[in-house]
């Protein structure tokens, strides 16, 4: 790309006002382009995607959290951004070791579901593009496996029901989309809008709060490629739900839904105990996906008996 320094300067000027390419009227949360980007607190840096040359190029910049110094930049042909993971602006795309960054093509305001989804896999240290991914259909970033070998994606297939989704796995080593969807077998028709997210240490488990027919938490086992849907007993309003966030407590043993005022609205016990109640559902960090599926099924049976 010629005159890269000029393009970088132009992109920085254009990004003075934060810009986000959200997926208004589309299924995925869209991408972030502008100053906020994605913070990697463990390494003290922030990654931002800056549109340049009328969106024909994207400049990726790595910026120190302290002082705001640009320590590295690179460029990608096309309009890309840091992928969103919730409708409230939470972003993702960085592997747990901070070495790999995935950026996604910005929505172009066309059809509700994309006919082709494009992502780029970038070396987070050099900001050089390692690989480009183009998948037929509507896909958005969801998570990484801890070893950085598997990329998890959210797929939407129905224009009539944008809440319906399924999780797919992409093998970054073999460079192929694995054939089977990752679903909770007790809840095969997963549907909802992602509102909040948190992860266990190292990213082995990713928890996403969804608003569906009823609120629930989607727990993704990124090590074994399994998913569990955990029902929430919710007594507050929908507005409170939208303004809440997730927080892990007790060394990852419990997952709390906390409102904007710091009040805990719901608790999920992530470690099995002798008894559970109808207000508590569990999954989690130390159990295999098979164990979690059995746990969720057992709990649902107990609820029906009660």
Q: Is 60 exceeded by the pLDDT of residue 136?
A: yes
154-213 pLDDT, tens digit per residue, is 999 988 888 999 999 999 999 999 999 999 888 878 899 999 999 998 899 999 999 988
- Residue boundaries of the structural domains of the chain: 1-182, 184-306
- H/E stretch holding 255: strand 254-258
**Average pLDDT for 18-30:** 62
How far apart CA 122 and CA 60 sit, in angstroms, is 10
Q: Could you tell me which residues come within 8 angstroms of residue 104 by beta carbon, excluding any fewer than 6 positions away?
A: 31, 80, 81, 83, 93, 117, 118, 119, 120, 140, 141
Q: Which residue has the higher pLDDT, 130 or 20?
A: 130
Q: Is 50 exceeded by the pLDDT of residue 33?
A: yes
Q: Is 70 exceeded by the pLDDT of residue 74?
A: yes
pLDDT of residue 284: 35
Q: Is 60 exceeded by the pLDDT of residue 93?
A: yes
Least confident of 125-134, 178-187, 189-198, 269-278: 269-278
Q: Which two tokens stand for residue 260?
A: 């904007």
Q: Computed over its alpha carbons, how large is the radius of gyration of the chain?
A: 20
pLDDT of residue 26: 66
């Amino acid at each position: 790309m010629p005159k890269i320094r000029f393009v970088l300067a132009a992109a920085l000027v254009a990004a003075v006002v934060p810009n986000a390419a959200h997926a208004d009227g589309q299924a995925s949360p869209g991408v972030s382009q502008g100053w906020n980007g994605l913070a990697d607190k463990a390494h003290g840096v922030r990654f931002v995607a800056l549109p340049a040359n009328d969106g024909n190029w994207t400049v990726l910049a790595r910026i120190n959290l302290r002082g705001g110094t640009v320590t590295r930049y690179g460029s990608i042909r096309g309009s890309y951004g840091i992928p969103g993971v919730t409708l409230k602006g939470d972003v993702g795309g960085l592997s747990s070791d901070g070495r790999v960054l995935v950026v996604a093509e910005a929505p172009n305001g066309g059809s509700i579901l994309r006919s082709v989804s494009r992502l780029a896999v970038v070396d987070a240290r050099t900001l050089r593009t390692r690989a480009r991914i183009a998948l037929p259909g509507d896909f958005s970033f969801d998570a990484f496996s801890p070893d950085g070998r598997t990329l998890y994606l959210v797929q939407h297939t129905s224009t009539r029901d944008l809440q319906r989704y399924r999780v797919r796995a992409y093998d970054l080593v073999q460079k192929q989309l694995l054939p089977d969807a990752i679903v909770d077998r007790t809840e095969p028709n997963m549907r909802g809008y992602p509102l909040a997210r948190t992860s266990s240490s190292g990213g082995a488990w990713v928890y996403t709060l969804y608003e569906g027919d009823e609120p629930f938490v989607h727990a993704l086992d990124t090590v074994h490629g399994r998913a569990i849907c955990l029902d929430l007993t919710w007594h507050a309003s929908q507005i409170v739900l939208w303004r809440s966030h997730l927080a892990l407590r007790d060394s990852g043993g419990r997952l709390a839904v906390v409102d904007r005022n710091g009040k805990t609205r719901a608790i999920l016990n992530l470690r099995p105990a002798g008894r559970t109640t109808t207000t508590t559902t569990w999954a989690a960090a130390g159990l295999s996906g098979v164990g979690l599926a059995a746990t969720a099924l057992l709990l649902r049976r107990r609820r029906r008996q009660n």
